Amino acid sequence: MKTHTVTAAILFLFTVSAPSFSQTSCSNDPGLLDTPDDILNMVTRSDDTLIQTYAEYHPVLLKTALDNYAVCLRSDNHGVVESAIAQLVRLKLDVPNLSAPDCVREMRRLSTEGRTQMIRLKARFALMLCDDPALFDLAQLHRSDEPDAVFAEIASQLRSKLIVSEARE
């Protein structure tokens, strides 16, 4: 239920920000998608090739999605905020050279000012991934489609780095 609500909220924000997506058809170009659902699924799917290919065709759409995620990060709804953080982590894993300064700025704010401890923690984990991806085994993080499992894997990898670091001292 929570996932459907969050997905609906993000889809709503995406559609409101870019009404032309829902009003035009891209059926003349087989590389383009037809509906807002297709666009949302494309941007949030963990298929690296599709995202990069689509981003090459329409970098404006990827920027629009990132702008909408930045809006979601400012939401009063905790579920929307946590979902946006998770989707940005997924995008960062799928597109390692992704630049999203507005989202990173919002996550920095959330890491200290987030309304819940979970939001602050997830924002910190996401920032670590954005700031220093070399700390992580990205292939291992890619193995799960569940956001909570990805955050658990980030925590596990950080814990193992800490244990290894302490063992060396």
Q: Are 51 and 95 in contact (CB under 8 A)?
A: yes
Please give the pLDDT value at position 8: 45
Q: What's the whole-number average pLDDT of the chain?
A: 75
d(Cα 80, Cα 10) in Å, to the nearest integer?
A: 8
Query: What is the arithmetic mean of pLDDT over 142-166?
Result: 84
For helices 48-57 and 59-73, the axis angle rounded to 10 degrees is 110
Is pLDDT at 21 greater than 90 in this prediction? no
Residue whose token pair is 């799917």: 45
Secondary structure letter of residue 80 according to DSSP: H
- pLDDT band with cut points at 50, 70 and 90 for residue 166: low
Label residues 41-77 b or e (16+ Cβ within 10 Å = b).
ebbbeeeeeebeebbeebeebbebbbbbbbbbbebee
Domain of 68, in residue numbers: 2-168
Please give the pLDDT value at position 146: 86
Share above pLDDT 90 across residues of the chain, in percent, rounded to a whole number:
37
Q: Are 118 and 89 in contact (CB under 8 A)?
A: no
Please give the pLDDT value at position 121: 96
Considering 27-41, 103-117, 132-146, 154-168, the range whose residues carry the highest mean pLDDT is 103-117
Query: Residue 41 has which token pair?
Result: 């699924």
Considering 48-57, 118-127, 139-148, the range whose residues carry the highest mean pLDDT is 118-127
pLDDT in tens, 70-100: 999 999 999 999 999 999 998 888 888 888 9
- What domain count does the chain have? 1
Q: Which residue has the higher pLDDT, 167 or 40?
A: 167
pTM (2 decimals)?
Answer: 0.65
pLDDT in tens, 28-60: 444 454 555 555 555 554 554 555 555 555 677
Please give the pLDDT value at position 18: 44
Give the number of residues written for the chain: 169
